[in-house]
Amino acid sequence: MPFLTIMLPLRMNAIAEGQEIQSLAYAAFAGAIAASITNIAFGWISDRTGVRRPWIAGGLVLSSLLLVSMQFVQTVPALVAMIIIWQCALNMMLAPLAAWAGDCVPDHQKGLLGGLLALSPALGALSGALVTVPGLAAQDTRLVLVAILVALMVGPALLFARPLPMPQLMQKPETGEAVASQPHTTVARMWLARLLVQIAEAALFAFLLFWFIAIDETTTDNDTATIFSLVLGISVPLAMFVGRWSDRSQRPILPLVLGSGVGSIGLLIMAFSDSMAVAVVGYVVFGLSTSIFLALHSSQTLRVLPRPRTRGRDLGLFNLTNTVPSLIMPWLTLALVPVFGFAALFMLLAALCMIACVLLITLPRA
C-alpha cells in the first residue's frame, strides 16, 4: 500500500514531465491486468505442484528485489514495465498464500480468519504513515523499508508455521451441507455480491475527498485521511467480533447479508445528506459495514469453493473482484456525476449493494 499510494505517484511525478496523471493511470491499468492474470496463474500452479511455501518464498524474494530496484528506473515505459513484472512477482506470493489459508484453517474458524484479515488494510495505512515520517528515510530508502516490512509479515509464516494436517479441507464435499448444497450457484452469487460491493467501495475510495469538498469547501485532504483511518481502525475489532460470532452461531453468511444491506443504507444517507455531519455519518455507516463485509467474505469464500484441489486457481478468479472495479468505477463516475451529481452515483451504488444483499440472503441458511 505505501508503494502504490505514495511512492509510485511521487516517482511518476519525478520522471513523467507533466504527464504524471496519465502515466500513473497507464501504470495502474497495466498493473491491474497483470495482477489479475498472474494471481489466477500462480494459484493454479501451486495447486498443480501441491506445494505453497516455495512459491510464496520465491514471490517474496522477487517482489522485494523488484520493489527496491524501482529507484533505478528513469523513464515512464520502463517504470510501467517494472510495475507489470513486480505485480507478477507479488501475486506469485499472494495467490499461494491465500490458498494456504484455505488448506489449513478449518471451516469453524473461517469467521475468525476473516476478522483477522480486517487488519490488512489498517496495517497497510499504518505502514504508509510509518515509512513517510519526516526525517526517517529518503525516498529511495523508503522502498527498502517497505520490502523489510513485507518480509517481517510473511517471513514468520514461511519459517515457523507448522499447521496441523487438515485432510478434510482437501476433499470435495460429498454431503449436502447447507451452504455447499448447490456449490456452483453459491460460488457465483458470492463472486457477484463481492464484485458489486467492491465497485461501491472503489468509487468511494477514489472520490470521497471531491464529494466532501463539494459539501464543505473547507474540507482538507487530512480530514478525509483521518476519517478513512478511523473507519479502518474501528472496523478491525468489529470484524473480529462479528467473525467469531459467525463461527460460534454457525451463521457464516448472515454477517455478509447485513454488511451489504447496511452499506446500502449508508450510501442512501450520503445521497440525501445536506451537511458535512450527515455526510460523515453516512460514510462511517457505509465504511464500517463494507469493511467487515470484505474481510469476512474473503475467509468465507475459502469455505464455499467446491473443488479444494483447485483452490488457488479459484481464488485467483475471485481476485478479479478486487481488480475489475478499478476498471469499471471511473466510467460510472464520469457518466453520472457531471450530469446528475454525486447523489445519483450514491443511489446507484446503494442499489448495487442491495442487489448483493439479495443475492446472499437467498442462499440456503444465510
Give tens-digit pLDDT for 77-118.
999 999 999 999 999 999 999 999 888 888 888 888 988 888
User: 254 pLDDT exceeds 50?
Assistant: yes
Decide if 299 contacts 118 (C-beta within 8 A). Answer: no
Q: What is the pLDDT at residue 172?
A: 62
Give pairs for 180-183: CB < 8 Å, separation 24+: 180/304, 180/306, 181/364, 182/364, 183/304, 183/305, 183/306
Q: How much is the mean pLDDT over the chain?
A: 87
Distance between CA atoms of 165 and 176, rounded to whole angstroms? 24
Give tens-digit pLDDT for 281-314.
999 999 999 999 999 998 888 888 877 788 899 8
Distance between CA atoms of 184 and 173, rounded to whole angstroms? 12
Give tens-digit pLDDT for 123-164.
888 888 888 888 888 888 899 999 999 999 999 999 998 887
Q: Which structural domains are found in the chain, ordered by start?
A: 2-160 (no CATH), 183-361 (1.20.1250.20)
Q: Model-level pTM greater than 0.85?
A: no
